[in-house]
Structure 1
């Protein structure tokens, strides 16, 4: 990991690195080895998080379900404040253990979770029927947004899992072969 003091000055300013915790900087601490790539990743992440049609709650549910399949412990441990403000609770996160049995989730949330889950586990199973199910709940623009967001989570979550950056995480994410985002302590980012 690149210490913040050694970040490229443009990258450090772009992300206000001096004002962020190591956990908030996340994978960027490794991406900082390639500053131009890191700046591009920050730009993509910003576009996916700021110019959205989908709710924070829905995207957080999808992100956490993908994180489970990726086994990205950092991704599973964190919660974003916008999602909490939008109704995400730890009880709702626990429903992700069996999302298709949960009364806590809407049909639209289940369809989005299923899509993200398939993208993370068996992307070639995503067929016209899966997209038709999504179209019952989402516009074409929202489906494109969901797909881009899921692709970001799948790709960078898998990379993050291999980098195993768990130092700042609660102890339950340091142990065992399989971690889960449900059933324990989590960290809310600022």
Structure 2
């Protein structure tokens, strides 16, 4: 059960009502999020107005390919233990269901991932598990694969994936199997 009160769906502001009603029949977590954010709807709407365009490069000058960002998001979802994030498929055109379901968690083992993708996922793991271990060697490895602009975007996206997923878990909004 959510650690915040969940507003009744009928009382939600338009943005949250659309989000709630547009969620799939089994997507309880999206409905939970919409209802919990009734206490501060502008916060979620403005956050998502940054998140989605930069995740997909939709109308923004993103430095990184959406596939790379989706692989990072999915790896962080596993590390965070966020069921909502792990179940979501935000870029099905560029990340196969097999990669999304299990492949991204085995990037270190090789497979069909590019050196850039492997480096991005390693950075995501480092940021999610031990960001204090980020050192000059880590930066050299990143700069071998990415421009400074790309590194900034990669770290910014990874940081917000980590934070949002952990917030969902802490507030118990990411439970996907218990209807309210």
Equivalenced residues, count: 164
Aligned to 2:126: 118
Aligned to 1:77: 87
Structure 1 residue runs without a partner (length 5+)? 171-190
Match among 91, 98, 101 for residue 91 of structure 1: 98
Aligned-residue RMSD, C-alpha: 2.4
Moved over 6 A (4+): none
Length-normalised TM-score, structure 1? 0.74
Length-normalised TM-score, structure 2? 0.78
* Structure 1 residues 30 and 48, CA gap change in structure 2 (3 angstroms): farther
Alignment of 1:65 onto 2:91: no
Aligned to 2:3: none
**CA distance in structure 1 between the partners assigned to 2:87 and 2:170 by the alignment:** 16
Match among 131, 136, 157 for residue 144 of structure 2: 136
Task: Say if 2:84 and 2:175, in contact at 8 Å, map to a contact too.
Answer: no
Structure 2 residue runs without a partner (length 5+)? 1-5
Deviation of 1:149 (Å): 0.6
Task: Say if 2:71 and 2:121, in contact at 8 Å, map to a contact too.
Answer: yes
Deviation of 1:169 (Å): 5.2
Higher helix share: 2
